[in-house]
Amino acid sequence: EEEELEFQQVEKATSLFNSCKIRHLKSMSKVTSCFDSLVAVSPEDSITAICSQLFEHQLHGVPVVEGGTALSVVTAFRILQYFANNLESKPDFMTSTLAELGIGTYHQILTILRETPLIVVLDVLARRELTSVPVVDDRGVVVDVFTQDDVLSLGCWPDLFDFMEEPLHDVISLIEKDGIQRHKPVPTCRRSETLENIVYRLLTNVGQRSLVCVDSEGHIEGIVSVSDILRFLYEIFISKKKEKK
């Protein structure tokens, strides 16, 4: 009886999906009401207001909603891209270095040893709500960066659970053997590089949202992300706005 009931439920769900059309979704109150509890912005909000939402809620992107309908998603990356593409003249601070501007995070940087079991890495990413984590060897030299894109690629493995105890460097090798395009070389930078160069590198490397700052020997010093740069620009804009008042 249970199997028959389950079969009927599947048949009913299949019939519902086959008969449902896009226009039906607009009239479903359950679909539109789900936006009430979401952090969202409207098409009329300023870039400043959107940045404020991103920073306040520690988000990488927010949905643009109008009349209960999601129109798109605006991300920190897209805002930085807009800023870079619409500069009429280059601000002086763009030629200053990361060290001079103080952009990035340089304290309590989490790293993962390349021998760490995959299950531990996944647990760390989930609990810390991280999108990536630098991978180091036994000398503390950065040898890779394990990202959320790598995690997503694991979802294609039918026998994923058999690899949970495997060291991360072996898992990464298998991902690359599957033909998955990953960041090459390791996305690192130096604190002596200019902001202009860092912005260019972040915007021209597809899928890359942060760079690992290293010293001359490759040891990690910190991380600079798209959000770090956007926050810097936001604070400059806000301070200048207050000065005008």
Per-residue pLDDT, 178: 80
Instruction: Please tell me the distance from the alpha carbon of residue 213 to that of residue 221, in angstroms, as a whole number.
Output: 5
Evaluate whether residue 84 is within a structural domain: no
Evaluate whether residue 130 is within a structural domain: yes
Q: 172 and 116 in one domain? A: yes
Q: How many domains does the chain have?
A: 2
Q: Write out the two tokens for 199.
A: 């912005």
Q: 199 and 170 in one domain? A: yes
Range of the domain at 104: 92-234
Instruction: Please tell me the distance from the alpha carbon of residue 130 to that of residue 124, in angstroms, as a whole number.
Output: 8
Q: 145 and 121 in one domain? A: yes
* CATH number of the domain where residue 214 is located: 3.10.580.10
What tens digit of pLDDT does each residue of 105-116 get? 999 899 999 999
Which residues lie closer than 8 Å to 157 by C-beta, 6 or more apart? 163
Q: 161 and 72 in one domain? A: no
What tens digit of pLDDT does each residue of 193-210 get? 999 999 999 998 766 789
* Full-model pTM: 0.75
Residue 30: which H helix or E strand, with range? helix 29-33
Instruction: Please tell me the distance from the alpha carbon of residue 61 to that of residue 218, in angstroms, as a whole number.
Output: 31
Q: 96 and 67 in one domain? A: no
In which band, very low, low, confident or very high, does the pLDDT at 240 lie, cut at 50, 70 and 90?
A: low
**What average pLDDT does the structure give for the chain?**
84
Which SS3 state, helix, strand or coil, does residue 44 take? Answer: coil
Q: 28 and 97 in one domain? A: no
Query: Between residues 144 and 239, which one has the greater pLDDT?
Result: 144
What tens digit of pLDDT does each residue of 124-172 get? 999 888 889 999 999 999 999 999 889 988 888 888 888 999 999 999 9
Least confident of 35-44, 60-69, 76-85, 204-213: 35-44
Model confidence at 29: pLDDT above 70:
no
Evaluate whether residue 207 is within a structural domain: yes
Per-residue pLDDT, 186: 87
Complete DSSP assignment for 90-139: --GGGGSBHHHHT-SB-SS---EETTSBHHHHHHHHHHHT-SEEEEE-TT
Nearest to 228, CA basis, from 105, 94, 106, 146: 105
Q: 185 and 100 in one domain? A: yes
Q: What percent of the chain has pLDDT over 70?
A: 81
Model confidence at 35: pLDDT above 50:
no
* CATH number of the domain where residue 62 is located: 3.90.1280
